Each structure stands twice: as structure tokens, then as C-alpha cells.
Amino acid sequence: MSTAFHVYQSIARATHEHGVETMFGLMGDANLFMVDSFVRDCGGRFVPAAHEGSSVLMALAYAHVSGKVGVATVTHGPALTNAITALTEAARGHVPLVILAGDTPVDNPRHLQSIDQRELTKVTGAGFEQLRSPATTGKDVARAFYRAQVERRPIVLNMPADFMWQEVEHDMQVLNVFTAPGGVAEGDTLDNAIGMIASARRPLILAGGGAVHARAQLIKLADRLEAPLATTLKAKGLFNDHPYNIDIFGTLSTPAAYDLIAQSDCIVCFGTALHDFTTDRGKLMKDKRIIQVDVEPAAIGGGLHPDAALVADAGLTAETIVYWLDEAEIAPSGFTAELDIDTLTKHPAGPEKAKEGFVSYVHALERLEDALPKDRVLVTDGGRFMTEVWCRVTAPDPQSFVCTVNFGAIGLGLQEAIGAGVAAPNRPVVMFTGDGGFMMGGINEFNTAVRLGLDLIVIVANDSAYGAEHIQFIDRKMDPSLTEFHWPSFAETARALGGEGAEVRSWDELETAIEAMQARKGPFLLELRLDPHDVPRMRI
């Protein structure tokens, strides 16, 4: 049954009818009435950000942790340009989002904030959907949500401001999305792949972000083959507690695991595009058979050409391989009997050494791994410091791990930590960032976390420099002073913004800070003071 509403009310209702309970955003004249209706008329929750890009990043992490479509809203012109980096991050991460973006009135092409929002959106890799007319509001919202799910990327729904107060008949419009797994592998390519796997003496199973739904099937295949298991960074934590899990595959592997991978003769890859960091620019894939399984055709062959490529669902394909191995009575490889798993998974820490007034970063991470809440959602910013975090700090599972590295940007971590906290309100969120990243983006939104009352722990690695650039100057025996900064105290800044903070310059201060962290009442910032000349190099 249809009912007359204004367009802004119809957009709010249509969004709510798609199961949306939480919307992130920043209000302006093209979206404020829609937001108001979403909250007042639909009982939705609006999470206001300090910056438009932040709202998209919050929605991104919310989608990742909750498994739902994330929703953000911004107004027109500069509001959308402020979200370009965030949209690119989400598009490259294949995250389903709907961005309800206002647009300047169609009858005023000389509006001060006018810009071609379709072309702007296209450069990010996100999709674009136009609100065509007031009469098509329900259909256009429905199509945006449908596309976000089937295309696995953000869709910007463009909403002209002059439509908002026009009256329409609101009809519920929800397009059903087919979400069953992709096809089952079959044919000669499957036969060849099974032949390679059956003849392997040192097989290894690798899972990426596209295979996190297939944990049980991949473990069954690995156990059947007696093969070790590994993951890409995006699937970190997938095989936690399995006795033959060697953790992250590639440049982030332990030295012993890297050698083991190099010695393997067949790698069966599920749901990974085999990024250069995963393969160490192809070095780890030399002189071995590579089988690549992915539902996304574009994921196959981008980094290297596999010996067998199967466009199929990871779980169904793993089950099929096990079936035919059993039918042919193929003996297990016995590879796992050779493994010393403790050696394979322990990253060496080296001697503890730090100048007075600084702490050792690696040893601080080792201590924090033990001290941080075990049921955490782990979020990492980009930058020099993160590779050691990825190697030394665990996440419970891939859905509880948010890494903001799809676009190589820094300064996105705290915004995504807020989105993760909203998605998982009963769990603590732990976010690691560098000093440059925190100044670029985190400081904008720390008070947002305070206002929301989130259980958030922020660890800032502060070497008072842009570290990656600092290293390059040092390596070339040049003056690095242009990379060095005298930041304010981040711990004091956190307190000024309404949270708690502790600065750490010694091992004793770290223990005191950990005690304060464990007694926290709200967002807590722990600032590690580091020597810029004594920080581990990036492993990518």
C-alpha cells in the first residue's frame, strides 16, 4: 500500500526497509532532512563524524565487522570530494557500501558547490546511481543496495537537493540478492589441478580474503593432504589454533615459514589475487605448481599465471578435491610430519635495546600482545609501523581484523576503528597507528569515539617523524630533518579531547600504562615514544 511522503522521508524509509539500523555521516543542506527522518520516523541511529571521509571509513569497517551493507551520507560538492580517498579504499577493498550523497539543485548549474559527482565517483572505482526523479525514489534506493551487494563495492546514490520536499507515493522496493556460493569446479582444468595436488610431496594451502567463509572445508582439505595452512594478510586469524597453521604467507612470514614456503612444491590458493607482497613479487612461487581458485575471474592471473585456474567457490572446490582424492585413494603427503610449528610461527624479537627516553617497539608489541584484551577487534592504520603489528599482534578471526591498506594511505585507522566499535559494541577495539597517521586523520575523530562512549584503545607509535621517508634519507646518507616533527603530546591531546592517555618512554612506564589501560573508562590512548633511528623496517 502506498502512502504520500516527501522525497527525503521516502529515502529514509527505503533505507530502513533494507535492514539499515545505523547510518554514519555529516549533515548538510542536501541530506539533513533525510537524516532527521531516518532517526525520528524510522528509529535509526545516526553516527555523526567530524569529516565526510571519516563517515565513509566508519561505514566501511562497520560493514566488514558486522557483515552488513554499510551506509554513510554526505551532502554535495566539497563533502563528496572530501570522501574520495575513503571511497577508493572501500572500492579496492570490495566492501559493499551505499553512500547517500546530496547533489546541488539540477536547476542551478552555477551553484557554488556544483561539481560533476558522477565523474568524481568514477575515478575512485565506486559505482554511481542517480536518483532519477521523485517518483522513482524507492526503485533507485533499492538498486543502489542491490548493486552494492552484487558488485561488492560502494555505490554513491546521487540525491538532488531540490527533490527533497517534493511529494511522492512511497512504495516499499527491496530487490532480492542471490548470495549463494559460486559454481563448483569441473572439467579438464579440475582434473589437471587434482592431478597436481595428488602428486605433490610438499603441498600447502593458502587462503585469502575471498575464502574466509570456507574455513572448515579448507581445513578438511589440508588435513586430508597433511599440508600446512597459511593466509594472506586479509585473512589473518582464519586458521587460529590449527596445529599446522603457519600464519601469514609472504613477506610477512617468519624466516622459517618463508623457507618452508620456498621448499613447497604445490600451493593451492583459495580466494586470493596473489598480490606482490603475498608472493614476494613472484619469488615464492617459482619452481612449484600453483592452483588458483576464486569466484572473481579478475582475481586470477593478475599477479602471475597459475598452472590451473578455477573460477569457482572456495568451499565447494575444496570439498570436490577431497572427494576425488578419496575416490582415487591418494595417500597423504606426510609434509606436516616434518614441521616444527613453534619455529615456523615465532618472529624473532632480537635483543632489547633502546636509548634513554625511548622504548623498543618490537618488545613493546610483544608485551602488548599479552596485555591487550583477547576478544579484541584489531584495527591497523597504514604506514611504517604496521608490518610488525601484523606479525606480532593477533586477531581472533578475519572479521575481527580491519587493515586500512587497500589504497596505501595513512590516517584512516581511527575512523575505521570507530565503525568497528559501533558494529561490535560489546567488544574492545584496539587500533594501532603511527604519529603521522594519527595527526592526519585520528586526531579529527578521537573525540567522536569519546562522544560515542566506545571501548577503544589507541596505540600511537611516535617516532616524531614520517618514518618511511626518514629511512630513505638515512639510507642515502642525506639529512633527514625535513621528515622530523615536534608533535604535541598525544597522551595530553587525548585527555584534552575527553579521553584518557599515557605516554611511555621506559619499560616501567609501559607497565604503568598497561595498568591504566586495563582500568580504562572510555577511549584510551597509549603513546609509545620511539627512536626514529631504531625502528624495524617495513616488511613489504
Asked if the model's pLDDT at residue 537 lies above 90, the reply is no
Q: Is the pLDDT of residue 129 over 80?
A: yes
Tens of pLDDT, residue by residue over 153-190, are: 999 999 999 999 999 988 788 887 766 667 777 789 89
Which one-letter DSSP state was computed for residue 436?
H
- My answer on whether 18 and 104 are in the same domain is yes
Does residue 516 share a domain with residue 435?
A: yes
Residue 514 has pLDDT above 70, yes or no: yes
Query: Do residue 129 and residue 45 come from a single domain?
Result: yes
Alpha carbon distances (Å) from 47 to 34, 84, 407: 14, 20, 25
pLDDT digits (tens, 9 = 90+) for 308-356: 999 999 999 999 999 999 999 999 999 998 888 888 888 888 888 888 9
CA gap 467, 383 in Å, rounded: 8
Regarding whether 422 and 322 lie in a shared domain, the answer is: no
| Residue 350 placed within a domain | no
Mean pLDDT of 78-85: 96
pLDDT for res 369: 97
pLDDT for position 364: 96
Q: Quick one: 329 and 372 in the same domain?
A: no
Q: How confident is the model at residue 25 (pLDDT cuts 50, 70, 90)?
A: very high
Is residue 289 over pLDDT 90?
Answer: yes
Cα 494 from Cα 428, distance rounded (Å): 18
| Number of structural domains the chain divides into | 3
Do 308 and 446 share a domain, yes or no? no
User: Quick one: cell of 176?
Assistant: 532480492
Residue 2 has pLDDT above 60, yes or no: no
pLDDT band at 1 (very low <50, low <70, confident <90, very high): very low
How high is the pLDDT of residue 100?
A: 98
Residues 114 and 81 in one domain: yes
The one-letter amino acid code at 135 reads A
Considering the domain architecture, whether residues 366 and 514 belong to the same structural domain is answered as yes
pLDDT of 483: 83
Domain boundary among 313, 345, 377: 345
List of residues 6+ apart from 195 with CB closer than 8 A: none
Over 70: is that where the pLDDT of 304 sits?
Answer: yes
Chain segment 384-424, per-residue pLDDT in tens: 889 999 999 999 999 999 999 999 899 999 999 999 999 99
pLDDT score of 156: 98
CA angle 237, 241, 246 (to 5 degrees): 65
Mean per-residue pLDDT over the chain, rounded: 93
Look at residue 181 in the predicted model and tell me its pLDDT.
63
Residue 221 lies in a domain: yes
Q: Is residue 368 part of a domain?
A: yes
In whole angstroms, what is the distance from residue 245 CA to residue 84 CA? 38
pLDDT at 484: 79
Of the candidates 463, 423, 456, 418, which has an alpha carbon nearest to the alpha carbon of residue 439? 463
- Encode pLDDT of 83-105 as tens digits: 999 999 999 999 999 999 999 88
What confidence category does residue 518 fall into, taking pLDDT thresholds of 50, 70 and 90? very high
Residue for cell digits 615536534? 486
Please name which of 73, 62, 297 lies closest in space to residue 164, comparing C-alpha atoms: 73
- Residue 34 predicted with pLDDT over 80: yes
pLDDT of residue 234: 95
Pick from 445, 397, 220: nearest CA to 314: 220
Shared-domain flag, residues 240 and 315 = yes
Residue 67 carries which DSSP code? -
Q: Which of 486, 369, 363 is nearest to 435 (CA)?
A: 486
pTM of the model: 0.94
Q: What confidence tens digit (pLDDT) does each residue in 427-437 have?
A: 999 999 999 99
Domain that holds residue 133: 3-170
Give, as one character, the DSSP assignment of residue 279: H
Question: For the stretch 432-468, what's the b/e string if a residue is b when 16 or more beta carbons lie within 10 angstroms of its beta carbon?
Answer: bbbbbbbbbbbbbbbbbbbbbebbbbbbbbbbbbbbb
> Could you give the CA distance from residue 269 to residue 280 in angstroms, rounded to a whole number?
15
Whichever domain contains 475, its CATH number is 3.40.50.970
Encoded amino acid at 540, one letter:
I
| pLDDT value for 246 | 95
In order, the DSSP letters of 81-127 are HTTHHHHHHHHHTT--EEEEEEE--TT-TT-TT---HHHHHHTTT-E
Per DSSP bridges, beta strands 500-504 and 524-529 are parallel
Per-residue pLDDT, 180? 61
| 257-266, 297-306, 385-394, 457-466: the lowest-pLDDT one | 297-306
Looking up residue 224, the CATH number of its domain turns out to be 3.40.50.1220
Q: Which of 378, 495, 382, 507 is nearest to 435 (CA)?
A: 382
**Whether residue 449 sits in one domain with residue 508:** yes
Domain stop point among 142, 170, 198: 170
Edge-to-edge strand list for the sheet holding 401-403: 401-403, 377-380, 429-434, 456-462, 524-529, 500-504
Torsion-angle region of residue 373: left (phi > 0), alpha (psi -120 to 50) or beta?
Answer: beta
In a domain, 433, yes or no: yes
442 grid coordinates = 585520528
Instruction: Please compute the mean of the pLDDT values over residues 525-536 and round it to a whole number.
Output: 89
Q: DSSP class of residue 478? A: -
Q: Looking at residue 137, what is its pLDDT? A: 94
**Domain co-membership, 449 together with 494:** yes
